[in-house]
Amino acid sequence: MEKWQWGLAPRPKVLYINLTALIILGIWAGLMWVTPFMNEPGTLVGLDGLVGIHDSPVDFDDLDPISRFMYRAGDSQCHQKENRTVILNGNQMPFCARDVAIYTCMAIGVGLSVFPRMPYYDWINDLKWYWLVLALVPIGIDGTGQLLGYWESTNLIRFLTGGLCGLVVGIALGFMLREVEGMLLESRRLKRLEREIQEMTPKE
């Protein structure tokens, strides 16, 4: 295996900054899937609203703290339209199908960058800029066409386009975090080398 940039050589077993990002994203995405099962079936439906404001017709105050946090976050960041949201346990997920797919696959994408010694690591994480652009094309076409009224997408299409976008963005994020960790390690190495030189330099 080739040497890495920014002092990441030999190749480490784990990139800890990437692992931290994976844990955060994994918890966030995981709670989207879990919270519908933490509440009575049929109690979290008809959440339709607008993006950017708290306008849900359902009162979240009686929910447990985790569910309250997730559904309020969805209320402010997502339209939560019932026909564009996956129903689990008779409840809407706190975010629409496209958002859930983006966050879930983003966590997977970052996860693919955490363990550099896994098979095909370089092939998976050798992300060219044009792959990132191409991954945005399907979600852009589907979202724009739906917005302009040319068609009404389905949750499956929303999930596939959002998942593709999230996966590639997650891989790109993993690459950037890898470079950050490398720069930090290189900075520590240079400081340590500077201290050693100072200790070896005779004092007048």
Apex 100 CA angle, 30 and 71, nearest 5:
75
- CA distances in angstroms from 122 to 6, 114, 119, listed in the order given: 16, 12, 8
| 61: in domain | yes
Lookup result for tokens 């346990």:
89
Residues spanned by the domain of 123: 6-197
* Phi–psi pair at 92, nearest 5 degrees: -70, 145
Q: Among 131, 121, 154, 101, which Cα is nearest to 18's?
A: 121
| 204: in domain | no
| 15: in domain | yes
pLDDT tens column, 166-180: 999 999 999 889 888
| 203: in domain | no
Q: What is the mean pLDDT of residues 57-85?
A: 92
Helix (H) or strand (E) holding 87: strand 87-88
Could you tell me which residue, 67 or 180, shows the higher pLDDT? 67
| 40: in domain | yes
